[in-house]
Structure 1
Amino acid sequence: MRTEIATLGEFGLIKHLTEGIKLENESSKYGVGDDAAVLSYPADKQVLVTTDLLMEGVHFDLTYTPLKHLGYKSAVVNFSDIYAMNGTPKQITASLALSKRFSVEDMDEFYSGLRLACQQYKVDIVGGDTTSSLTGFAISITCIGEADKDKVVYRNGAKDTDLICVSGDLGAAYMGLQLLEREKAVFKGEQDAQPDFSGKEYLLERQLKPEARKDIIEKLSAANIVPTSMMDISDGLSSELLHICTQSKAGCRVYEEHIPIDYQ
């Protein structure tokens, strides 16, 4: 079944997608349904805001990216930015630009992933927008979070004697992307070809359905540790280290043999 988005219209689609959304966080006073969301944060908290824009053909390829996975990933990449500031994500707004090739059922799939991510990480959907696009699918997610005022971690706090730590292994998401691109090329050359992903489920999950490192922030808090500097490394270790070094006005030494590479 395929329902044209035009049959619902912009406001009908928003109502359809956000129906049944409940607010769970105390700081979420009012969400979808008015001109703006209403938020209220305690005086001892710092409010954190981040935005990510994802463009079809640049950040994702719908040839091999399920819309449910895309919805999940779109939310999680924003949560990761809040965790990287030593904060906790609390709310998101989701704005979408859609071409005519997308149906209401397609958006149901996307939103099912978005809502699943929000349920997993206890984040409220408090607003957003939809509009038409002539070129494809564009996704803009804004995430709002909170952190203790004296525990916000910036990129510019690294010191010369600090130890560089990576919270997980590296390379799996990139290899997952290469695997998907390889199978896409095979499929283009031979329409009857079936993708061969046997034994590569972990790599695919890291690319298509990544997770934000909420567990690291919780462990740091439990150990009463506040890092001097921190950021997520979704763009790669070397580029992110360069950002920290530049903003902290410091250099770094990396021991290649100690980099936690995933060798799958």
Structure 2
Amino acid sequence: MAQQAEQPQRTDVNTLGEFGLIEHLTQRFPLLNASSYLGIGDDAAVIDNGNFKTVVSTDMLVEGIHFDLMYTPLKHLGYKSVVVNLSDIYAMNARPRQITMSLGLSNRFSVEALEEFYEGVYLACEHYGVDLIGGDTTSSNKGMVISVTAIGQGEKDKLAYRSGAKVGDIICITGNVGAAYLGLQILEREKQIYLSSPEVQPNLENQTYCVGRQLKPEARRDMIEQFDKAKLIPTSMIDVSDGVASELFHICKASGVGAFLEESGVPIHPDAQLLALDFKLDPITCALSGGEDYELLFTVDPRDLEKVKYLPDIYIAGEITAAKDGVVLHTKGGNIHPLQAQGWVHFNPNKG
């Protein structure tokens, strides 16, 4: 007689209680930064930032809105939930030092499931050298809600804001954009195939790059280190979470300027270009409006052109113009069009 497969252990979170659960999930997190004066275990964490400016960013991820657990492994979700917050700190030309992690959970999540999620959190903290110093857990009527706050340090004279762009500044983009959006299209397509034909196995083998950009993004810590070594301070900067077009509009609005963006300067990975065509999508549209790339969009003074030209993985994509000129796209075909910001919309007024 064939033996039955051993059932994985499942521990109800209620057996540990709120504080027991937090202690169980976070006991392996050491404090890595001298500024982390006091971590988990008191009413509040204590951070000593000395002469640095403290920068703080908070993001919330909601199941069914920001992630789908049908194709997102919990370990990857834990990692990504940290990375997307650290990216905001790097976008200030600062360095993240601490995070807090709060979860709203329905009763379908076991202790073992949360251990898997926190394994991803731990790996992200270890990779980026940040400390988990607090958080909260509470019940949720449906699904999972994740709220992460990232705290960082930045030198006063080196912080980069959205509001610093000036006419004549050069627009730059790191890495490549659009791949994460296309990775999401692959995952959604395979999900629908599975729902209609559960016997069909997902086929993701040839799309590892784009799928990886969606499920396991990385924040551009390396760029902040490059800026420091080159003595380069961006005049403005933002991370690409909602699409290049949307982020460029944020900079232009905050700085009171316009922008001239070159289509040929927007970096797109070859795998993303091919996948866009496979989906009958325009690659540049995916790059401008896709989002979730977590690259950096920034501007530099034209006097720093020689510095930025020789830094790896940075692409010159345009120029800041006067506000009256608007925000426009110069296509490869030689046409000039007003740029449309069609990135991620967090609240849809047509939905109840």
Aligned to 1:150: 157
2:253 is matched by which residue type in structure 1? Answer: T
> Which string of whole-angstrom CA distances, capped at 9 and with x for unpartnered residues, describes residues 77-115 of structure 1?
010000000000000000000000000001000000001
One-letter amino acid of the counterpart of residue 187, structure 2: L
1:242 partner SS: helix
| Distance across 2 between alignment mates of 1:22 and 1:259 | 40
CA deviation map 1:143-186 (0-9, x unaligned) = 00000011110000001101100011111101100000000000
Deviation at 1:195, TM superposition (A): 0.3
Give the ranges of 4+ consecutive aligned residues of structure 1 lying more than 2 Å apart after TM superposition. Answer: none
Would you say 1:222 and 2:229 are equivalent positions? Answer: yes
Separation in 2, partners of 1:253, 1:261: 18
Which moves more between the two structures, 11-20 or 78-87?
Answer: 11-20
Aligned to 2:116: 109
The equivalences for 1:197-236 within 5 A come to 197-236=204-243
**Match of 1:147, as an amino acid?**
G
User: Could you tell me how far apart the structure 2 residues matched to 1:112 and 1:37 are?
Assistant: 22
- Give the distance between the partners of 2:18 and 2:266, measured in 1 at CA: 48
CA distance in 1, matches of 2:108, 2:63: 13
Alignment pair present for 1:34 and 2:39: no
Does the residue aligned with 1:94 lie in a helix, a strand or coil? Answer: strand
Residue 254 of structure 2 corresponds to residue 247 of structure 1: yes
Larger Cα-atom Rg: 2
Length, aligned pairs only: 263
Give the counterpart of 1:48 among 51, 55, 60: 55
Which consecutive unaligned segments of at least 5 residues does structure 1 have? Answer: none
- Partner in structure 1 of residue 84 of structure 2: 77
Separation in 2, partners of 1:131, 1:64? 24
Pairing partner for 2:11 from 3, 7, 13: 3
Aligned 1:60-209 pairs, distance under 5 A:
60-209=67-216
Quick check: which one's strand share is greater?
2
Partners of 2:27 and 2:159 in 1: how far apart? 35
Q: For 1:31-60, what per-residue CA distance to the aligned partner results, in whole angstroms no more than 9, with x for missing partners?
A: 0111100110112x1000000000000000
Aligned-residue CA RMSD in angstroms? 0.7
Distance 2:117 2:61 in 1: 13
Q: Deviations over 1:113-153 (max 9, x none)?
A: 00100000000000000000001100000000000011110
Select the residue among 8, 17, 20 that pairs with 2:25: 17
SS in 2 for 1:194: coil
1:83 alignment partner AA: Y
Deviation at 1:20, TM superposition (A): 2.5
Report whether the alignment pairs 1:58 with 2:65. Answer: yes
Task: Give the structure, 1 or 2, with the largest relative contact order (CA under 8 Å, sep 6 or more).
Answer: 1
